[in-house]
Amino acid sequence: MLKNLHLVAGEWASGSSTFTSEPAHGPAHEFAAGTPDLVDQAAKAAEDAFWSYGYSSPVERAAFLDRIADEIEARGADITEIGTQETGLPAARLEGERGRTVGQLRLFARYIEKSDHLDIRHDEAMPDRQPLPRPDLRLVQRPIGPVAVFGASNFPLAFSTAGGDTASALAAGCPVVVKGHSAHPGTADIVAQAVDAAIKALGLHSGVFSLIQGGKRDVGTSLVQHPLINAVGFTGSLAGGRALFDLCASRPHPIPFFGELGSVNPMFILPAAIANRGAEIANGWSASLTMGAGQFCTNPGIAIVLDGPDADAFTETAAAALTAVAPQTMLTDGIADAYRSGVARTGKDTAVRELIGTSCSTREASPYLYTCSGDAWLSNEGLGEEVFGPLGLIVRARNVEQLREIALSLEGQLTCTLHLDEDDNPVAKELLSILERKAGRILVNGFPTGVEVCNAMVHGGPYPASTNFGATSVGTMAIRRFLRPVCYQGVPISLLPEYLLD
């Protein structure tokens, strides 16, 4: 079932060393570890593939995306089996994520078939215009070349080997070199087999997709600094993402780094809403906070309320709901260690009061709940740092004016949420004008842990939520990250691609 190797330009390659997976349960496996030399081979093959794949038609690329989806589905049982072993996620979660993965491949296929991603514009020639004639001008978005993708720890399918970054790059016409995440190498292995099967079935250039597994830090460094790589897609920690971002910027020819680095996704629960529906919102927040052991980049870690009896009732209900949540297995030992560190950092703040605490000494995580005043939040930037796991903080603001101050103090977020009833509209309108400058997605009376894959979705935001506020890593607009506009002036029709013609 497993190759336990790298896929480089259609060949399953070994390396000079190996690493062993660390599954939550089930057998461990040895995999070949990546090297800078393998990265070089994959990048060169991707550049060679671009001369055919980058000039293929949208219809041809759509067929490729559809075939990848078919091949992943054909391996569905194997993917679920090893995915649950490696990550500890339940089978239903893996099956749902697989559905999302193949669904976004097919969504992108339908989207590019219509050429909507090309943003074609045509200004016809005006030879008789005075005082100067105007030439024929045609604009189209063109693929940028080979793209590097880093697999995510928390989404072994939807944000990894054939996930959103890979799918959007392939849809754009860009070959992809994936750096697999060591948390789920077996899952990456089987998905890479599916992509390889699709390449061979359609007779595409073998360099259109490669997978490099594991390896030391120099593997990732060599990938983002390789002169043939033209952009990088990344989902992960702020520290790791910022380090790669800086490497991309320091290259002799800098390239864009599309990093999604997470956020605390604050929720503002306004006075009428908490008075009328406080218990309902508290229970919903608790469920969202602990979903998947809190290992979502859209996990709503902060709830901001007005101090008073309604805040007391909200806190009591949330505490009761979180106390009832059983321990959950985290994706890796490293993530569990980082969660414990985040808990310790939060608990050390003397202005923060612990409401629910427990002992998390293994890969199992239990919820923690803290509360602090609005003054404490505003005076301690560290409270706004993400803790990856089921940790919640209730911030109690003195008044509506302090709600605005807290909103203004926020760093960039993936999401911000307003819970409101009709009587809250005046306050909500003021907050909305602030929050739209802070986040890529604004929710009302919902919870952000569900990210719909569709045309209108934005999964990104101002730094540090992401490194490019004008981009999204989810939805059809994600394809535009790997395209650049080219204007054709006075080029004969016989030389233009068919999709540029009127």
400-409 and 425-435 are packed helices; what angle lies between their axes, rounded to 10 degrees? 20
Nearest Cα neighbor of 341 from 296, 389, 377 is 389
H or E segment and range at residue 429: helix 425-435
The pTM score is 0.95
CA–CA separation, 274 and 258 (whole Å): 37
Q: How far apart are CA 76 and CA 121, in angstroms?
A: 42
CB within 8 Å of 169: residues ≥ 6 apart: 147, 149, 175, 176, 231, 233, 481, 482
Low-confidence stretches of the chain (pLDDT beneath 70): 360-361, 501-502
The Cα 354–Cα 483 span in angstroms is: 48
**Contact call for residues 402 and 374 (beta carbons, < 8 A):** yes
- Concerning whether 30 is annotated as a catalytic residue, the answer is no
Please name the amino acid found at residue 9.
A
Q: Please give the DSSP secondary-structure letter assigned to residue 113.
A: H
Residue type for position 307: D
SS (H, E, C) 398-458: CCHHHHHHHHHHCCCEEEEEEECCHHHHHHHHHHHHHHCCCEEEEEECCCCCCCCCCCCCC
**Of how many residues is the chain composed?**
502
Q: Give the span between the Cα atoms of 395 and 79, in whole angstroms.
A: 41
Residue tagged active-site, from 47, 86, 97, 260: 260
Q: What is the pLDDT of residues 81-140, one digit of tens each?
A: 999 999 999 999 999 999 999 999 999 999 999 998 999 999 999 999 999 999 999 999
Give the H/E segment covering residue 20: strand 18-20
C-beta separation of 400 from 427 below 8 A: yes
Q: Is 248 a catalytic residue?
A: no
pLDDT given at position 1: 86
Residue-level pLDDT at 386: 92
In 3D space, the residue among 250, 269, 179 whose CA is nearest the CA of residue 218 turns out to be 179
- Catalytic one of 174, 248, 297, 416: 297
Q: SS3 of 392, please?
A: strand
